[in-house]
């Protein structure tokens, strides 16, 4: 009888373990315990990923995970460097103090996010040498959606329709509790509406950058190594945990909503072999989120 190979069990376990260590899970646990988050947490995660990358080069059994390790290390290093810039007095005075125009403040953050995404995409290019290999292409919107019976998706459906359906449902799911929570007056609505074009632009950029470093990086470096099921589940948990503390909504509800959406977006990227479908799904709820920031800004 053939026994399962080491890679069959150890590689998925290693990938999951590394993800959980560098995810927001440690931050969530410390917050739950009432312990202030140390300023060096992000750098500790980057250092751990650097050490793990070295291990993948030294140990044959872990070698298939070297691209995953390098992509995650690049992401956390870039996040750390842009975080340093955000914390400078120069940045705070110009882009983060009270009175900074809505678009100027958020555009500065988007520029930093673009730099993070470009760093990750550059490393993916150096590793793959083919944009299609890390999904930085439009993809085929007419590709079939693999059936999801519990969602009522039958054989023959395509992402051309379901990308907009999932995005619209996600936008509505975000809009209802968010708008009810803000309860904006008619005057607030009228002051916020001129900011809608800015919200649309910010949502478009944010959807692209997050798809680049949350989906392109993990799917392209893990799918062929640990399989579809493990990769989609890992992406669900990683993205969901990233919204536990700072999502809207946050906590378990934020984890469930954003995790499920990440699972859908990852499936769409994998099945269409491109970024457009997950970008659409991501973009629509982001418009609602950024417009809620506009409502709060003018209130």
- Convert the pLDDT of each residue in 144-192 to its tens digit: 999 888 887 888 889 999 999 999 999 999 898 888 888 889 999 999 9
Task: Assess if residue 1 is contained within a domain.
Answer: no
What per-residue confidence (pLDDT) applies to 131? 96
Beta bridge partners of 153: 148
How would residue 8 be classed by pLDDT, with cut points 50, 70 and 90? low
Cα 56 to Cα 244: distance, rounded to the nearest angstrom: 30
**Domain count for the chain:** 1
Task: Assess if residue 134 is contained within a domain.
Answer: no
Task: Assess if residue 19 is contained within a domain.
Answer: yes
Cα 179 to Cα 2: distance, rounded to the nearest angstrom: 57
Given a cut of 70, whether residue 1 has pLDDT beyond it is no
Beta bridge partners of 144: 158
Q: Return the C-alpha torsion angle 56, 59, 65, 71, nearest 10.
A: 10
What per-residue confidence (pLDDT) applies to 2? 46
Task: Assess if residue 207 is contained within a domain.
Answer: yes
Question: Residues 139-142: contacts with CB within 8 Å, 24+ apart?
Answer: 139/269, 139/272, 139/273, 139/274, 139/275, 139/276, 139/277, 140/272, 140/273, 140/274, 141/272, 141/276, 141/277
CB atoms within 10 A of CB 212: 25
What per-residue confidence (pLDDT) applies to 162? 92
Cβ atoms of 202 and 110 within 8 Å: the answer is yes
Name the one residue in this structure whose structure tokens are 């993809």: 139
What per-residue confidence (pLDDT) applies to 126? 97
Cα 241 to Cα 276: distance, rounded to the nearest angstrom: 24
How would residue 250 be classed by pLDDT, with cut points 50, 70 and 90? confident
pTM: 0.91
Task: Assess if residue 247 is contained within a domain.
Answer: yes
How would residue 4 be classed by pLDDT, with cut points 50, 70 and 90? very low
Task: Assess if residue 136 is contained within a domain.
Answer: no
- Residue in 47, 223, 231 with CA at minimum distance from that of residue 128: 223
* Tokens standing for residue 42: 């992000």
Q: Which has the minimum average pLDDT: 38-52, 77-91, 147-161, 199-213?
A: 147-161
Chain length of the chain? 299
* Tokens standing for residue 86: 């955000």
Given a cut of 80, whether residue 79 has pLDDT beyond it is yes
**How does the average pLDDT of the chain come out, rounded?**
92
What per-residue confidence (pLDDT) applies to 246? 83
> Residue 172 sits in which domain range?
6-129+143-298
Task: Assess if residue 135 is contained within a domain.
Answer: no
How would residue 3 be classed by pLDDT, with cut points 50, 70 and 90? very low
């Amino acid at each position: 009888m053939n026994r399962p190979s080491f890679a069959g069990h150890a590689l998925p376990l290693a990938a999951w373990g590394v993800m959980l260590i560098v995810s927001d899970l440690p931050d969530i646990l410390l917050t739950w315990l009432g312990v202030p988050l140390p300023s060096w947490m992000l750098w500790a995660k980057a250092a751990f990923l650097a050490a793990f990358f070295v291990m993948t080069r030294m140990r044959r059994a872990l070698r298939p995970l070297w691209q995953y390790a390098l992509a995650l290390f690049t992401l956390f290093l870039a996040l750390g460097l842009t975080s340093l810039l955000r914390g400078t007095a120069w940045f705070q005075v110009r882009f983060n103090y009270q009175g900074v125009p809505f678009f100027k403040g958020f555009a500065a953050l988007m520029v930093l996010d673009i730099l993070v995404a470009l760093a990750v995409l550059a490393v993916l290019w150096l590793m793959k040498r083919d944009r299609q290999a890390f999904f930085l292409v439009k993809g085929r919107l007419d590709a079939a959606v693999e059936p999801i019976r519990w969602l009522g998706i039958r054989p023959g459906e395509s992402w051309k329709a379901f990308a907009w359906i999932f995005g619209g449902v996600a936008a509505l799911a975000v809009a209802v509790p968010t708008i009810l929570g803000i309860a904006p007056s008619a005057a607030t609505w009228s002051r916020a509406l001129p900011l809608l074009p800015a919200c649309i632009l910010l949502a478009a950029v944010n959807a692209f950058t997050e798809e680049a470093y949350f989906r392109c990086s993990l799917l392209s470096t893990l799918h062929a190594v640990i399989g579809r099921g493990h990769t989609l589940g890992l992406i669900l948990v990683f993205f969901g945990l990233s919204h536990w503390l700072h999502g809207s909504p946050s906590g378990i509800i934020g984890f469930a909503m954003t995790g499920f959406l990440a699972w859908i977006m990852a499936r769409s990227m994998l099945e269409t072999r491109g970024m457009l479908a997950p970008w659409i799904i991501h973009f629509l709820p982001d418009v609602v989120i950024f417009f809620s920031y506009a409502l709060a800004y003018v209130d």
